[in-house]
Chains A and B, each alone.
Chain A
């Protein structure tokens, strides 16, 4: 029973277009959400996060949207670039109450030339 679900194992997007990666969670107590990016043969690296008191957080080409009522968050990448091809992990935690981060299974993003 996965608490953080990424239902799309892979996604292909044309270079220059918008990439949208989706994530659902089941635990309504989660109050902090993160996205990590992973290249082959490397460890995951932190990309962007959002607290549950917000519904949007933007950092350059990356924007994370949070819909608490739907227990859903998404990562938007605009415009998509070849270097964005990687596996993206959605993660959730109980900020200030628990140091664990619960990760989804990941979505492999392919940016097509």
Chain B
């Protein structure tokens, strides 16, 4: 299995631009999570989906952030417009529908907003 796939691995953009991060979860996994890692806040959950339906988006920082999961094999996290404080590493993770099972993380997308 290829694991969780994220693209791009690195993104440099200018303030005000739209940024789209992509994730392909492990096949057969029912849950998909988006996280953001920063020095100040550590690893924080932004939103998660179960069977393509958003379950909890309470971690999404503000309306500039949106996430979609149009099908079981693809999800996007969009920031529009981007700001320098959005600079972070964004991780996608997936897992099967057993609560005790572990989440499998992708390699992350390192975002730098200038």
Do A and B truly interact? Answer: yes
Interface residue ranges, A against B (CB under 8 Å) = 2, 6, 32, 34, 36, 41-46, 49, 89, 93, 95-106
Are A43 and B105 within 8 A (Cβ)?
A: yes
A102 to B91, CA, bound (A): 14
With A32-B100, A99-B99: A104-B91 Cβ-Cβ less than 8 Å? no
Main SS class of interface, B: strand
Are B41 and A42 within 8 A (Cβ)?
A: no
A36 to B95, CA, bound (A): 15
With A43-B105, A43-B106, A89-B43: A99-B50 Cβ-Cβ less than 8 Å? yes
Ordered by A's residue number, 11 sampled pairs between the chains whose C-beta atoms are within 8 Å are A34-B102, A42-B107, A42-B108, A43-B4, A44-B105, A45-B105, A46-B104, A89-B43, A95-B100, A96-B100, A101-B45
Partner pick for B99 among A44, A96, A102, CB 8 A cutoff: A96
B41's nearest neighbour on chain A, judged by CB, is: A105
A100's nearest neighbour on chain B, judged by CB, is: B45
